A = this chain, B = another copy of it.
Amino acid sequence: MDIKKLPEGTIERLSKYRRCLTTYCKFYRENIFSHELARNLHLTPEQVRRDMMLIGHSGSHKNGYNIEELVEKISEVIDCRGKTNVAVFGLGNLGQAIVRYLQDKETRLNVEAIFDVNPEKINKPFLSVDCYHIKDLKRIIKEKDIRIAVLTLPGDDAHDMALEIAEAGVTGIMNFTPVPLKLPEGVFLEEYDILTSLEKVAFFAKK
């Protein structure tokens, strides 16, 4: 199995399997069947088994998959290089929600820095994460070995900031601002916009 060849869909599902297993299942049982995992996550059992196959994990015919082993295996695959440091840019409502959420969840992604421009927010820790002025981003990103940036700042500044962030050495950017980014090659970019999701829901909900 060439791990880098795994389809995006599989990676997303692996993340969901793991969360489902660590959150709901591991406390009250040892094993789980493909159809159970599938039902929880709105998938088919075949797809679950196919994903298992892709990461080279096997279960038992009688008991399905051992939850602990499976979580271990998924972690080997998706956290392959261990812990990854994340910074959040813009500590408004959305930024705060995200920092809190990431701290609550079991994950190897650690929010190690926050950036803002508001003097009231800078130099005070938020949920024990230090908040810096955005002008120091280059230095802090290097010092703290930040790999992933989450953009939750106003759209006006987003593009310029993103370019600086990329230049500082970040290799993955999650963009929540409504501004489509044009980044240099080599930076993995993911964008999410709730309006797109909601318009889709509205469309398919109309029958």
A interface residues (Cβ-Cβ under 8 A, vs B): 4, 8, 11-12, 15-16, 19-20, 23, 39-42, 78-81, 84, 86, 92-94, 96-98, 100-102, 105, 107, 109, 147-148, 150, 171-174, 178, 180, 182, 186-190, 192-207
Contact = CB atoms under 8 A, between A and B. Distances in A.
Contacts of A79: 199, 202
A82 to B, nearest CB: 10
A204 B178 CA distance: 22
A72 B19 CA distance: 42
A149 B184 CA distance: 38
6 contacts: A4-B207, A23-B178, A79-B199, A80-B206, A94-B97, A192-B192
A75 B40 CA distance: 35
A184 to B, nearest CB: 13
A16 B92 CA distance: 24
Contacts of A171: 205-207
Contacts of A97: 92-94, 97
Nearest to A102: B195
A174 B199 CA distance: 10
Contact of A201 (B81, B173, B206): B173
Contact of A195 (B105, B180, B195, B200): B105
B201 A148 contact: yes
Contacts of A100: 93
